[in-house]
Amino acid sequence: MAHLLVVESWVGSMSRLLPRALGEGGHDFTFLTRDLQHYLRSAPEGADHPLLTARNVVTAPTNDVGTLLPLTERLHTALRFDGVITSCDYYLPTAARIAARLGLPGPAPEAMESACRKDATRRVLAAADVPGPRFAVCADTAAAVLAARDLGYPLVVKPVDLCAGMLVRRVDDEAELTEACRALAAFPLNARHQRRDPSILLEEFLHGPEVSVETVSYAGSTHVVGVTDKSVGGAPAFVETGHMFPADLTPDDFAAATRTAVRAGAALGLDDVVAHTEIKLTADGPRVVEVNPRPAGNRITELVRHVTGVDLAAACVDVALGREPDLLPRETGLRSAAIAFLVPDGPGTLAGVDGAAGMRDAEGVLEVQIAEPGRTVEAADSNNAYLGHVMAGDPTGLAARHRVETLLAGVRPRLVGA
């Protein structure tokens, strides 16, 4: 049994998966947070709240690393940690710095910082000749307008330090670019009240299907677990509407995508991490969209587990403890698994969801989650806007995507007060 320091976790799909992996591994954890109130909400789907299984809950200034590091040293002296982990993007570099300070296993803090900053990732990958879009990093709107004239439209405007597709926009002209930059400037703090860098990242718009490569790096070696395909909607935003594992790729495309992802991780210096690298398969070959040095969100890790038996959340815990993860595939009875998300097409208050009754009993269904009436709904502009999902598997081939898309096609949210 090990004792882990968990820093500010339980957001998104990891709200269930990381606590499950810790419990199934027989591990204890101490939870570190600056704002306990953030977590005092109903547990997912009526499960026991993850904090009920914590050995300790400690309030600490997790947004002030200078103060936090000596505090964690004192905690380590008293409580003795075997590893440090987080499931929140905004604290991945902090967890790495704590582990380094305490002499515990973990990725290099500099590598995590570069991977978690979209502008730094672009510069590192470009210097290593890892293929990606043409790009420019701009200090303000005026600089972005000038850079756009050189890059040429259409472009993608990105914040350098947000996640879940927040404020990522396609722009086709100077007016749209100016509005996208205005929206970024109006969002000075992230969801964890950390001050954002105001820099603007402009990228060439890449044409082609998007996939993600799921990898685990340990002790200098990277293992490719597989490739997931992605469906994206919500233009001009980029909202992920569904995924299937494994992706339906030719052997050549699979090899090119995985080779590019492994090169990207190596260029960034990532090791002892589970990574989720997004790739566009363009006519000119694969191009890196993002490198995320943590397990995939949006229940992709569960798609992988249902098909291969490999538990990426457990692998994340193992590498945080300096242990070789179990990545041996097992027979699960499924050849593919897919998820489709219920995405609102406008604002209002959710009165109900029509057509969802009976979905749980449909062939191959693994999960159904539908939002409760009364929820305030905004127009979908990021991966935080979902009103539910359906997940299904196929035991014979790659029909899982068709199953979930067919099921969700008959489901409609009813909104009032729009």
Q: What is the CATH number of the domain that holds 90?
A: 3.40.50.20
The verdict on 255 and 272 lying in the same domain is: yes
Which parts of the chain have pLDDT scores under 50? none
Task: Give the pLDDT score at 98.
Answer: 98
Task: Give the pLDDT score at 11.
Answer: 64
Residues 6+ apart with CB under 8 A from 52: none
Count of alpha carbons within 13 Å of 348, Cβ hemisphere only?
Answer: 14
Task: Give the pLDDT score at 274.
Answer: 98
The verdict on 320 and 400 lying in the same domain is: no
Q: Which residue, 332, 362, 393, sits at the end of a domain?
A: 332
Q: Considering the domain boundaries, does residue 56 fall inside one?
A: yes
The verdict on 234 and 291 lying in the same domain is: yes
The verdict on 222 and 259 lying in the same domain is: yes
Task: Give the pLDDT score at 337.
Answer: 98
Instruction: Report how far residue 18's alpha carbon sits from residue 314's, in angstroms, rounded to the nearest whole number.
Output: 8
- Residue 307 has a CB neighbour count (10 Å cut-off) of 24
Beta-sheet pairing, 3-7 with 83-85: parallel
Collapse the DSSP code of 200 into the 3-class scheme (helix H, G, I; strand E, B; otherwise coil) and give the result: strand
Rounded CA Rg of the chain: 21
Task: Give the pLDDT score at 94.
Answer: 98
The verdict on 200 and 215 lying in the same domain is: no
Task: Give the pLDDT score at 48.
Answer: 76
Q: Considering the domain boundaries, does residue 126 fall inside one?
A: no
Q: Which residue, 55, 84, 104, sits at the end of a domain?
A: 104
Domain at 176, CATH number: 3.30.1490.20
The verdict on 307 and 349 lying in the same domain is: no
The verdict on 339 and 328 lying in the same domain is: no
Task: Give the pLDDT score at 12.
Answer: 66
Q: Considering the domain boundaries, does residue 235 fall inside one?
A: yes
Q: Domain range spanning residue 161?
A: 133-204
Task: Give the pLDDT score at 89.
Answer: 93
The verdict on 79 and 186 lying in the same domain is: no
Q: Considering the domain boundaries, does residue 113 fall inside one?
A: no
Tokens of 346: 């406008």
Residues 6+ apart with CB under 8 A from 199: 119, 137, 138, 139, 160
User: Please, are residues 294 and 94 in contact by the beta-carbon 8 Å criterion?
Assistant: no
Task: Give the pLDDT score at 417.
Answer: 80
For residue 372, the 8-state DSSP code is P
Q: Considering the domain boundaries, does residue 109 fall inside one?
A: no
The verdict on 316 and 241 lying in the same domain is: yes
Write down the pTM of the prediction.
0.95
Task: Give the pLDDT score at 20.
Answer: 87
Please count the structural domains in the chain: 4
Segment 107-116, tens digit of pLDDT: 999 999 999 9
Domain at 393, CATH number: 3.30.470.20
The verdict on 179 and 253 lying in the same domain is: no
The verdict on 184 and 260 lying in the same domain is: no
Task: Give the pLDDT score at 44.
Answer: 56
Q: Considering the domain boundaries, does residue 9 fall inside one?
A: yes
Q: Considering the domain boundaries, does residue 388 fall inside one?
A: yes
Q: Considering the domain boundaries, does residue 122 fall inside one?
A: no
Segment 366-409, tens digit of pLDDT: 999 998 899 888 888 888 889 999 999 999 999 999 999 999 99
Q: Which residue, 188, 204, 220, sits at the end of a domain?
A: 204
The verdict on 260 and 242 lying in the same domain is: yes
Segment 243-271, tens digit of pLDDT: 999 999 999 999 999 999 999 999 999 99
Q: Residue type at 181?
A: C
